[in-house]
Chains A and B, each alone.
Chain A
Amino acid sequence: LKKKKKKKRETSDEMVAEFSQMLDWSDSALRSFAWHPHTDKFAVALLDDSIRIYKSNSSATPTLKHRCQRSVCALQWKPLCGSALAVACQSCLLIWHVDPTSLSTRPSSGCAQVLSHPGHSPITSIAWSPTGSLLVSASPVDTAMMVWDVAAESAVPLQRVGGGGVTYLSWSPDGSRLLAATPSALFRVWETRMWTCERWPCLKGSCQVRKLRKLSITVFELMYAFIYFFKLTFFSQTSWDPRGERLAVLLKGDSQAVNHPSVIAVFKTRSSPVFELLPCGFVMGEAGAEPRFMQFHPHFQHGALLTVCWSDGRISHVPFYFSSAGLLGGDSPQQALASNTADHSSNKLYTEQIS
């Protein structure tokens, strides 16, 4: 029986590795990463299933551990809230309430709410609604996605036949739509007023549209056309900065070939009067390090700040300083494209694994 359980865990781990946003999730030192949507604070999930929270002007880094917290696949901070962090685990969904004012480094597991639903695991994607009232979770083995009322710990399953499971979720910034990708060549766009959905066919392979700044249909179609036009089926993640001026694309490397590592390509974008996409440059890491995950800081004052998780366990913040074209009106010269400034490359990222 134990063997069976172990095997089950292994298969679900494989599944998580396949659908996680982090490239090479299974051997990555960093399992997941999330910026807080309003403050300078981020959470990192590590290989040893612990989560660390870093704040900009505080040396205290709380470490979150829970016995249910295994194989963390996704993290997301609750919008319009200072403390709640949703964690997608192998067997359940955890909602940590980390008091931002407390100085304790080990919040007790009593601070975490455990949400689970039979048949709904492993959870590979979670998405808070922009108003912070609902949390949607998805699992590749469950055709239903769960809409959680977190405080009441109740879930409403939303089931649609076809596609087989849901792998990736993303809300539009205004909260009116929700993108749900499936493992097959199909994704759905849910309208969040009456929760009806429309089916969109995908080109080929799994649809991994990372994050669309606006999920309004026009931009969505642009994105669609863009993918189609460039035949960029090998890219795995795209990230748009909150102002819509920089687009980062993580191009997945070829694991067989030596000279084809994963790289991040950065584009300048403009959406008015016509959609423009200009190549801007590449973001490289230290020698031998490949990018695994990237995310733009949600509200960087002076331009855009791209945070990249590297394969050697470092996290670097890459600032792009520019004045917004929208603010000045017309073309503005790009002031500086700072090279990667690997900030805190602390070796203490592992808590117990190394020692």
Chain B
Amino acid sequence: MREKMRQYESRMRSTEALKQKLKQLTLDNKELRKQVKVLRAEIGLEASPKFHGKTTKDIINDLHEKERECNSLVVVWRAVASIAWSVLLLPVTAAVFVLLSRFSLFHPIQWISECTSLLTASSTIFSLVVLCGVVLITGLFNLEFYTLVPSIPCSRMALLGTVLHPRQCVHSLVYCTMGMLVMWCASVTIGGRYSTLGIPCRQSESGEVVTCLNEYHLFLLLAGAFMGYSHSFLGVVQNMYYVSFQPIQQYKYPRFKGCLPMVVKCSVIQSLYSARNFAALYFFFGYAPKTWISSTLHLQIDSSLQPLDSLTGLLDFSLLYHLTISGTFLYFTWYLTVLLFRIYVTEAYSFPVQSTFTEDAEQCLPKVLAETNTLVMKFFALQDLALLSQHSLSRRLEVFCLSQPGGHPHNWNAISRECLSLLSELTQRLVAHQDAVASNGRVKSQSASSDTRSASLSSSVMSGTEDIAETPRLGVPLRTPGSVFKSSVGGVHSALTAPFTPDVDSPFSSPAIRRLVGQQEPRSPWFGTVQSPHIMRRGPKLWSASTESQSNGSPPASPVTVPSPPAASEKPSFLAQWLQNRREQVKSFLAKRVLIVYLFNKLPEASSQALFADSQVHIWALQGLSHLVAASFSEDQFGVVQTTLPNILSCLVVLLEAVDRHFKLPHASSKPARAVCRMGDSTYKTLRFALRAALKTAIYKITTTFGEHLNAVNISTEHRKRLQQFLEFKE
């Protein structure tokens, strides 16, 4: 009993002690917490109520924000790298140029020694510095003007408008100046009779020495300006700034090596063409700049020398050789910069599919795909999707995996939703275009067309969810600066006008659309540049002429927008009759003018090309989707893809129907002539064929992988019939 008592007592005591200890510890803890709070506030992890500045947390958030911004600056960094490389390559090309320009067959040793001494001369170093500046400006222009979606003018008038756009004018001016600078460097390097603008000469009658104009120098300088302008002009015509992605991936160096011969060839050919054209131009108009320069700079014209704007003066082999060599050097520096820029920009960029840290979530593939701010990132993301779906098992598994916790296939949902919305947007665009063409230019009410669109939407079981209809199309300000048809910036207007942008001026588009675009008209180049009252006055009449003349298959486009309705329409009087007659006369008069028809005629294929101008993203989306779906057959552990498979299949089939119908339109299936040797990329001309091939391959990929299992997929009977054709390989 006593034993028990003692035990109890001791237990009580120990409990008491423990209680005491606990109290002590709680107090300590409170004290420590307070301290920690103070410390945290001190180092900035927590905001004290009185504190108003930035805490460390805010700073970290800011840093993440900056990082995201930097991520979208990836193109800028790549451009900088490409410019750096072009600057580094400049001495090499300059050395080759010096060797070629001083070439003499009979004195090889003298030639080599002269060249080496010239290469180390201070004048050459100075020329190199100037050339570096030229390369830098070229690189900056590349970065500023490059476009992933080419601008496709639909008539020659539109092309003219692009060429006369103020931005383009500045571009031409800068290139003219750069051409002159390079040619100045070249003439200094070549030396001899080309080196300076003024040379001492003896006047024939008085015999005193005066400075005369050196026509050879002037000739080269003017040639530089001419080549600069023709480069800038051809840049528009050939879409030089359009950057296309290659069908295969290559490392930068092998790709550069592979493209180099092409660039050399192109610059030689271009230089020969330019030399020929410039010689002809100088032959006819050479006296004008010559007299102007000589009068402004008070330089005499040496009459003892043969003038260059004569046949005998121009038929100087060494002059033509030096002109061609310098021209080749000029074009080569520019083309090389463009080539390096293209190689750097189109390099594949790898995004993480998902990240363990929430801070990095913004840079993950699903997020970037949905992003609409920068078109470039969207391109990179879709390219990365296409690549990972084909080549990377581990990243595919990440796409198919479920979120933790929750178990939702967020990655797959986001990716498939984005791809499907892209594809259905293309379908809508095609359907709208077909409707426009089918109505054959007759004025169609906007409500009707929107009705058909919504009908097509509902019938085409897109992806069932509403958010897809709401997702803006590539609502990014497209980088098509030269485009005469300003693409609008997202929103309802874009959705309405986008399918019609190439056709805005054509009589095909309905007045509602015309009005919508009319609101943007002040921003269009027509507003600023072409002030010619001639054209402005003619515009409305032309338009009305074109509505009639399209019946014979040649619908000329009109540059000016809303035609004012005839004022006299209220009372059908004699005046109206008279006006009607006059209009008919003007119409028939204008329709007969060859030049007008030539300028305003719609270029065949152009509308078709413009519809598919950004189809590279659709091709990647198709490849990515089809390969992911095919891979899911064996790799998708949770059956994530199965739920979206009906949507994907019906979306593809609907797109296929739209594409098939598009290819039945006139000019849609005609192949463009292949350019022989051009620096401008003409891939965009065949994108529609590539898209059709990619679409069929995508459906085949899915049908061959799933085979008979497709019968279990819940799709409409029409689509099932079409898929059956694919299963039997009858497409």
Contacts and interface: CB of A to CB of B under 8 A. Distances in A.
Interface of A: 36, 38-39, 80-83, 100-101, 113, 131-134, 147, 149-154, 156-159, 175-176, 192-196
Interface in B690-731: 690, 692-694, 696-697, 700-701, 704, 726, 728-731
B250 interface: yes
B249 A195 contact: yes
B251 A194 contact: yes
B704 A133 contact: no
A112 to B, nearest CB: 12
Contacts of A159: 257-258
B107 interface: no
Contacts of A147: 247-248
A154 B671 CA distance: 13
A342 B232 CA distance: 67
21 contacts: A38-B704, A38-B729, A81-B700, A82-B700, A82-B729, A100-B731, A132-B697, A133-B697, A151-B686, A151-B694, A152-B689, A152-B690, A153-B686, A154-B247, A156-B247, A156-B250, A159-B257, A176-B391, A193-B387, A195-B248, A195-B254
Interface string B229-256: 0000000000000000011111100100
A158 B258 contact: yes
Contacts of A36: 729
Nearest to B700: A80
A101 B696 CA distance: 16
Interface string B657-697: 00000000000000100100000000100110110111011
Contact of B249 (A100, A150, A194): A194
B623 interface: yes
A82 B701 CA distance: 12
Contacts of B257: 159
Given A151-B692, A152-B690, A156-B258, A82 B731 contact: yes
Contact of B697 (A39, A80, A113, A154): A80
B674 A153 contact: yes
A131 B704 contact: no
B390 A131 contact: yes
A149 B251 contact: no
Interface in B58-114: none
B697 A194 contact: no
A193 B391 contact: yes
B674 A83 contact: no
Contact of A151 (B249, B250, B690): B690
B701 A151 contact: no
Contact of A133 (B246, B623, B674): B623
Contacts of B697: 80-81, 131-133
A152 B254 CA distance: 22
Contact of A193 (B249, B674, B729): B249
Contacts of A133: 247, 623, 694, 697
B729 A100 contact: yes
Interface of B: 246-251, 254, 257-258, 387, 390-391, 623, 627, 671, 674, 683, 686-687, 689-690, 692-694, 696-697, 700-701, 704, 726, 728-731
Nearest to B627: A131
A24 to B, nearest CB: 33
B704 A80 contact: yes
A101 B254 CA distance: 44
Nearest to B674: A153
A156 B704 contact: no
A113 B672 CA distance: 12
A157 B686 contact: no
A80 B696 CA distance: 8
A156 B248 contact: yes
A132 B700 contact: yes
Contacts of B246: 156
A36 B700 CA distance: 14
Contacts of A82: 700, 726, 729-731
A101 B730 contact: yes
Given A154-B686, A193-B391, A195-B254, 11 more contacts: A39-B729, A82-B731, A100-B729, A150-B693, A151-B686, A152-B683, A156-B248, A175-B390, A193-B249, A194-B249, A195-B250
Contacts of B700: 80-82, 132
A149 B244 CA distance: 13
B624 to A, nearest CB: 12
Nearest to A83: B731
A196 B251 contact: yes
B629 to A, nearest CB: 13
A100 B247 contact: no
Contacts of B674: 153
Nearest to A78: B697
A238 to B, nearest CB: 26
A157 to B, nearest CB: 6
Contacts of B623: 133
**Residue from B247, B249, B251, B687 with most neighbouring chain A CB atoms (10 Å):** B247
**Residue from B249, B251, B390, B627 with most neighbouring chain A CB atoms (10 Å):** B390
B646 to A, nearest CB: 21
A82 B730 CA distance: 6
Contact of A149 (B247, B250, B627, B728): B247
B690 to A, nearest CB: 4
A144 to B, nearest CB: 8
A134 B687 contact: no
